[in-house]
Amino acid sequence: MIKPHGSDTLNPLFVYDSEKHDALKHEAEGLPSLLLSSAAAANAVMMGAGYFNPLTGYMNLADAMGAAEKMLTTSGLFFPVPVVNLTSDVSAIEGHKRIALRDPNVEGHPVLAVMEVEAIEEVSAEQMAFMTEKVFGTTDPAHPGVAAFNSQGQKLLSGPIQVLNFSYFSEDFPDTFRTAVEIRNEIAERGWEKVVAFQTRNPMHRAHEELCHMAMDRLGADGLVIHMLLGKLKPGDIPAPVRDSCIRKMVELYFKPNSAMVTGYGFDMLYAGPREAVLHALFRQNMGATHFIIGRDHAGVGDYYGPFDAQKIFDDQVPQGALLIEMFMADNTAWSKKLGKVVMMREAPDHVKEDFITLSGTKVREMLGRGEAPPPEFSRPEVAKILMDYYQSLDK
């Protein structure tokens, strides 16, 4: 199986030993505590689950700046984004070396992790702007990722962590949330050698489904891991349970048995376009995938990124050999009226726009809200039914 990033074996930061876990949990109740931002909590979940291997905790300022500027920490580790714990108020934990990190997304704010505080550093406005520009390609506060990053505060806590739970993800999504450890184990159990990963924060329409089939066929892959983002999205995005139902129905009806896994991970979407595409590739390598589909406008939002910037970054900025996972670069896929099947648009040079069935997201939402199914060439009827029920429930 493919090695994880930066080490020979995966080193998740979740405390699996039950005795150590209980002792740590008991200790944590007596420690000074910090209520995390949602972003810092998501980082803890991802480190606990092994997706951010080989990190042992939150980055210090020098490593965060290095990751932002060159995608390299001070030790030379390739990492495409800063993984930080930013806050605005450290009065409750200042002077303490060992603290409890509390979950902002679960009622009662239970302890999510225990942290060994190595440093508390003040991040200047200039440094915040620098990291923002490098990671998101913009400092526009209207960008949802920029707004979230800059709302956390400018005091940066760094140091190793031990993770005690996976926030709300394991309870709210028991059939879908999987750690990188669990996905690696299941890939091994299924006997898959060549594994394609597909990232989604939306339901999968016919074009997405066919893109996965194309990638598997062309690569000779044994299996596909559909990996859903289960964390915070922007307003208007479809909730995770609805996406989950849509994708499971599609896999049940349109994929061969033992050819696709439906899984999810606990992280807040950054909408960082190219940088987030590289981050997505890194944690797919950590979960055991050998190939990762990068599509048009991957992880983008609005008009902040060019349609293929998330593909170009792998050629222009990612050092050779920085990641072992290979990319499957995809164009927009759509139903060709001429050929009677879904194709990648760039592979149909004799087509004009009218030869494809394409619908805007706004148009599709309007149709579903009226109880109208999009054409079967665009969306499988069984998937459309789930989405129609959801959109119509919003009006009640």
CB 378 within 8 A of CB 395: no
Which is the catalytic residue, given 11, 190, 202, 365? 202
Q: CA 142, 282, 99: angle at the middle one, nearest 5?
A: 75
Question: Beta strand pairing status for 98-102 and 85-87?
Answer: unpaired
CB atoms under 10 Å from CB of 71, counted, come to 22
Which is the catalytic residue, given 201, 248, 332, 365? 201
202: annotated active-site residue: yes
Tokens 């797919």, residue located: 284
Question: How far separated are the first and last CA of the chain, in Å rounded?
Answer: 49
Nearest to 51 by CA among 330, 282, 207, 329: 282
Residue 352 one-letter amino acid = V
201: annotated active-site residue: yes
Nearest to 331 by CA among 358, 361, 311: 311
Nearest to 195 by CA among 261, 276, 283, 278: 261
CB atoms under 10 Å from CB of 338, counted, come to 12
Q: CA 100, 268, 202: angle at the middle one, nearest 5?
A: 150
The C-alpha atoms of residue 22 and residue 28 are separated, in whole angstroms, by: 10
Which contacts of 304-313 are long-range, i.e. CB under 8 A and separated by 24 or more positions?
A: 304/136, 304/137, 304/138, 304/140, 304/143, 304/271, 304/273, 305/137, 305/273, 305/274, 309/273, 309/274, 310/273, 310/274, 310/276, 310/277, 311/277, 312/274, 313/274, 313/275, 313/277, 313/278
Phi, psi of 52 (to 5 degrees): -100, 20
Could you list the active site residues?
Answer: 201-202
